[in-house]
Amino acid sequence: MSQTMSVVCGVSNRHLHLSQEDLELLFGAGASLTVMRDLGQPGQYACEEQVNLIGPKNTLRNVRVLGPVRRQTQVEVSLTDSFTLGIKPPLRDSGDLAASATLILEGPAGRLDLSEGVILAKRHVHFHPDDASILGIKDKDIIKVAIEGERGLVFDNVLARVHESYALEFHVDTDEANAAMLKTGDQVIISVK
Amino acid sequence: MSQTMSVVCGVSNRHLHLSQEDLELLFGAGASLTVMRDLGQPGQYACEEQVNLIGPKNTLRNVRVLGPVRRQTQVEVSLTDSFTLGIKPPLRDSGDLAASATLILEGPAGRLDLSEGVILAKRHVHFHPDDASILGIKDKDIIKVAIEGERGLVFDNVLARVHESYALEFHVDTDEANAAMLKTGDQVIISVK
């Protein structure tokens, strides 16, 4: 039998996560991140810090850093952005960065040549285990998400991520949001076969 | 019973159609369009002529004119483009331009203040009547289009356009193409009901 649940949507604009080492290369020795505002996922926040992404074709300026710092630097762009930059990032789950795309990052204190870490993020739903259990979903399951409205559509191949630290939220990038005319805060319907 | 058919996809980048009057305002008295290459629809072609779109927030340069000239100038941008430009075009069928968005157009011979004509194009399938009859589709029907692959999805609310002058082709803009990782020439599956 088909099970459904209403979930809030969060649209991710291009952004990056930095390692402490790369943060200091870009913003100076001893630099730390400055919270601008909290995000939908507990403990995650948008920072005052911004970086330029320099690709072989063009530069995207003032790209927001998200905190806290991570073990490895990760840059998430849309497919539209990747054409502007002139790079070919793979479609990946967050943290799966081996042999992903490269870029030059530029901050106020320096530049760095990122050898990997640039991806298109796979659309996904964050579940707290309490919400996942209602639908019988486990981590890494593939589900569907339906969007209503003028540009209504059903996303297949949506990754379910289940963890104690997560709040229930559907994440897409700006291409996916614009294709469906979705905005952060909109409600969508997730369904499990 | 569900009916399906495989159709080729054409991705529309931002572009514009010009009236003869506006063509001459932008490119000079007596100007005519120069064919660069033919498009999927019979009689339609991309032109050598390009125009700058000047919005309240930013300018998009070198936007391609499509020919032949039309009764009224029409500019088709993606939702991503509309954020860049700083305008709010409605989602419309081609030709339905009353009270749509405005922009300044700039060509080599002059500028013009477009009082209406800027839209987000509704995704649609062009059918020759011979193809439409196989699926029992008539002009203005609403159908679904399924995309396979890593970013597979099903577009609802796809407009069917049926006319003697059309060739079978599914048209989306770059946001929709990028959300589904579609390219011009890819095959998609249309389904009725």
Tell me which chain B residue has its CA closest to the CA of residue A151: B157
Strand pairing class (A45-54; A74-76): unpaired
Write out chain A residues lying below 8 Å of B153, CB-based. Answer: 153-157
Average pLDDT, chain B: 96
Average pLDDT, chain A: 96
> What is the nearest CA distance from A117 to chain B, expressed in angstroms?
20
Cβ pair A152:B154 closer than 8 A: no
- Of B106, B105, B126, the closest CA to residue B117 belongs to B105
Residue with tokens 């297949």: A156
> How confident is residue B3, by pLDDT bands cut at 50, 70 and 90?
confident
- Amino acid identity of residue B67, one-letter, is G
Which of the residues B12, B80, B122 would you substitute to probe the A interface, choosing the one with the greatest number of A C-beta atoms within 10 Å? B80
Question: Considering the entire predicted model, what is its pTM?
Answer: 0.93
At A76 the three-state DSSP class reads strand
- For residues A86 and A57, the answer to whether their CB atoms sit within 8 Å is yes
Q: What is the pLDDT of residue B191?
A: 87
Number of CB atoms found within 10 A of residue B119's CB: 22
Q: What is the pLDDT of residue B31?
A: 98
> What is the nearest CA distance from A168 to chain B, expressed in angstroms?
22
Strand pairing class (B110-121; B91-92): parallel
> What is the nearest CA distance from A42 to chain B, expressed in angstroms?
27
For B91-110, what is the mean pLDDT?
97
Which chain B residues have any C-beta within 8 angstroms of a chain A C-beta? 78-80, 91, 123, 150-157, 174-176, 178-181
Query: Rounded to the nearest 5 degrees, what angle is found at the Cα of B86, between the Cα atoms of A180 and B14?
Result: 60
Q: Does the pLDDT at position A3 exceed 90?
A: no
Residue B150: which of A157, A175, A180 has the nearest Cβ?
Answer: A157
Cβ pair B152:A150 closer than 8 A: no
- For residues B146 and B189, the answer to whether their CB atoms sit within 8 Å is yes
Give the burial class of A62: count Cβ atoms within 10 A of its Cβ; 0-12 exposed, 13-18 middle, 19 or more buried.
exposed
| A-B Cβ pairs (cutoff 8 Å, strict) | 54
Which of the residues B119, B124, B173, B175 would you substitute to probe the A interface, choosing the one with the greatest number of A C-beta atoms within 10 Å? B175
> What is the nearest CA distance from A181 to chain B, expressed in angstroms?
8
Q: Does the pLDDT at position A189 exceed 60?
A: yes
> What is the nearest CA distance from B141 to chain A, expressed in angstroms?
15
**pLDDT tens digits along A18-68:** 999 999 999 999 999 999 999 999 999 999 999 999 999 999 999 999 999
Q: Which carries the bigger pLDDT value, residue B95 or residue B2?
A: B95
Q: What is the pLDDT of residue A1?
A: 45
- For residues B160 and B133, the answer to whether their CB atoms sit within 8 Å is no
> What is the nearest CA distance from B57 to chain A, expressed in angstroms?
16
For B143-149, what is the mean pLDDT?
95
Q: What is the pLDDT of residue B39?
A: 94
**pLDDT tens digits along A96-124:** 999 999 999 999 999 999 999 999 999 99
- Of A128, A125, A129, the closest CA to residue A143 belongs to A125
Write out chain A residues lying below 8 Å of B157, CB-based. Answer: 150-152
Write out chain B residues lying below 8 Å of A180, CB-based. Answer: 179
Q: What is the pLDDT of residue B35?
A: 97
Tell me which chain B residue has its CA closest to the CA of residue A179: B176
A130 φ, ψ (degrees, to nearest 5): -65, -40
Write out chain A residues lying below 8 Å of B150, CB-based. Answer: 91, 157
